[in-house]
Amino acid sequence: PLLAARGAGGYAVSMMSVVGESDAEEAVPAGSVSAILLAGGVGKRMGAAIPKQYLELRGRAIATYSMTTFAAMPQIGELVVVCNPEWRNVFDDVYATLPEEQKKPLVYALPGKERQDSVFNGLSAARADAGLVAIHDTARPVIRPVDAAQCMADAMETGAAVLGVPVKPTIKEVGEDGRVVRTLNRSLLWEVQTPQCIRPGLLKEGFDLVARENLEVTDDVSIIEAMGLPVKVTPGSYSNLKITTPDDLIAAEQFLDLEA
């Protein structure tokens, strides 16, 4: 059965099966996942004086919401935060308030020039024996643990998985002259989110390929796709929005109310 809760704008918030939550937890050994939390972006579209992930959402920096969510998940064995050093205190302060059992090892890595460089730095800082890495944009504060757990379980089985939701609007391909080339089949299109969960060995092989062929990728599982390997799309939630504009802050507050 699908969860039919309604969120901002009346959209279905989650497509996950409630029944499958415990199964997803059992599929991933406790402490076997390193969460790589990306918090080094600039966020120019927000038009704020500071990076968007450090803006306050109900009295807390946006970036800290996903940190506390992952810290509470039994599958997570460590937290790798990729951020500029001047922002580490934001995470340190919230980490200090966590219950002792949720204080997973916390390590930091420096952001790179591009997203893929930041992911590489986070992967390099993660512990060598992790079964999976779960790469998450901290500008997505309303990640649901049940969705993340299922994505991890799918990655354990497939090697790589990413949360996603079916696109809602009609999508058209448009030529340089501004005319419609074709209308894409909406039933086949998914908007991917994070976390993107990957076996570390696969991701390291993928980065070797990226370096050899000088590839540029915009998300993490694209590296696995470039290797010709399968990627599972795990149905997620529309509430897992990425905050890029002021309107997104309002929507995130509404979704937080629903999750409370």
What residue spans of the chain are helical by DSSP H?
A: 21-27, 62-71, 88-95, 115-125, 145-158, 200-213, 221-226, 246-259
Per-position pLDDT tens, the chain of length 260? 233 333 333 333 444 444 455 677 778 999 999 999 999 876 555 556 788 899 999 999 999 999 999 999 999 999 999 999 999 999 999 999 999 999 999 999 999 999 999 999 999 999 999 999 999 999 999 999 999 999 999 999 999 999 999 999 999 999 999 999 999 999 999 999 999 999 999 999 999 999 999 988 889 999 999 999 999 999 999 999 999 988 999 899 999 888 77
Nearest in space to 149 (alpha carbons), one of 30, 5, 251: 30
Instruction: Supply the pLDDT for residue 49.
Output: 75
Nearest in space to 116 (alpha carbons), one of 200, 202, 222, 194: 222
The distance between the two most distant Cα atoms of the chain, rounded to a whole number of Å, is: 59
Instruction: Supply the pLDDT for residue 216.
Output: 85
DSSP sequence for 9-29? GG-B-B---GGGHHHHHHHS-
Helix (H) or strand (E) holding 76: strand 76-82
Q: Residue 49's CB: how many other CB atoms inside 10 A?
A: 6
pTM: 0.88
Q: How far is Cα 249 from Cα 254, in angstroms, rounded to an integer?
A: 9
Q: Are 21 and 153 in contact (CB under 8 A)?
A: no
Nearest in space to 101 (alpha carbons), one of 68, 132, 125, 131: 68
